[in-house]
Chains A and B, each alone.
Chain A
Amino acid sequence: DARVTQTPRHKVTEMGQEVTMRCQPILGHNTVFWYRQTMMQGLELLAYFRNRAPLDDSGMPKDRFSAEMPDATLATLKIQPSEPRDSAVYFCASGADYSRANYGYTFGSGTRLTVV
């Protein structure tokens, strides 16, 4: 089965440090999404890319978060500087919007981030 690959799986860092999370979407998928999941807030959409172009990043704190797709095989989410409130599981998902019948995401295994 095709899968979305996220690295690292776990990250513990000190407050103020830069954190970079990576995602390799499924080959052929043209949409990529970044979500953050916490117990308090649930699942929050941070960023949405289509054909590598950012379409929606309204859910992302712009002062410290940035999301990019340097190429079709890599999406990155960066936090600089990190804060304890950023501790969460960050999921990447990819999908294809070529055909309505194929809508639906495939999620990666997530990056569990702990900022101390």
Chain B
Amino acid sequence: AQSVSQHNHHVILSEAASLELGCNYSYGGTVNLFWYVQYPGQHLQLLLKYFSGDPLVKGIKGFEAEFIKSKFSFNLRKPSVQWSDTAEYFCAVNDWDNNAGNMLTFGGGTRLMVKP
């Protein structure tokens, strides 16, 4: 079964610092990849997704992610974080090949705190 690892459980940054959150998945077939963000007290919202084409995906609020198939990774990046980026970030994977439909496997999440 697919599994998703987010190795950084908690990240603390100062404003304007660069961000990179790691995401690795286990299954090596055809995948769709997602990053969701959950602001404090709110629901999960889609930040960006990859399903084919250019492996560098740009999302909302200046976020981007790069799909590296050889490394089974889909890391999230932002060049300069803001206090308002404080949230929990979830990586998720859909296995296109295993008839899972659009069911996603989520990572454990990374809590980001940005200090003003």
Contact = CB atoms under 8 A, between A and B. Distances in A.
Contact of B108 (A42, A55, A93): A42
B4 to A, nearest CB: 11
Nearest to A33: B103
A82 interface: no
B103 A56 contact: yes
A104 B102 contact: yes
Interface in B29-55: 32, 34, 36, 42-46, 49, 51-52
Query: Secondary structure at chain A's binding surface: helix, strand, loop or mixed?
Result: strand
Contact of A97 (B34, B49, B101): B101
B49 A110 contact: no
B102 A95 contact: yes
A31 B102 contact: yes
Nearest to A110: B43
A43 interface: yes
B102 A97 contact: yes
Interface string A38-61: 000011010010100001100000
B83 to A, nearest CB: 23
Given A42-B108, A97-B102, A103 B43 contact: no
A74 B56 CA distance: 37
B104 A105 contact: yes
Which of B43, B45, B102, B103 has its CB near the most chain A CB atoms (within 10 A)? Answer: B102
Contacts of A43: 90, 106, 109
8 contacts: A31-B101, A31-B103, A43-B109, A45-B103, A91-B44, A103-B32, A104-B34, A107-B45
Task: Pick the 3 closest A-B CB pairs, nearest first.
Answer: A97-B102, A107-B43, A103-B102
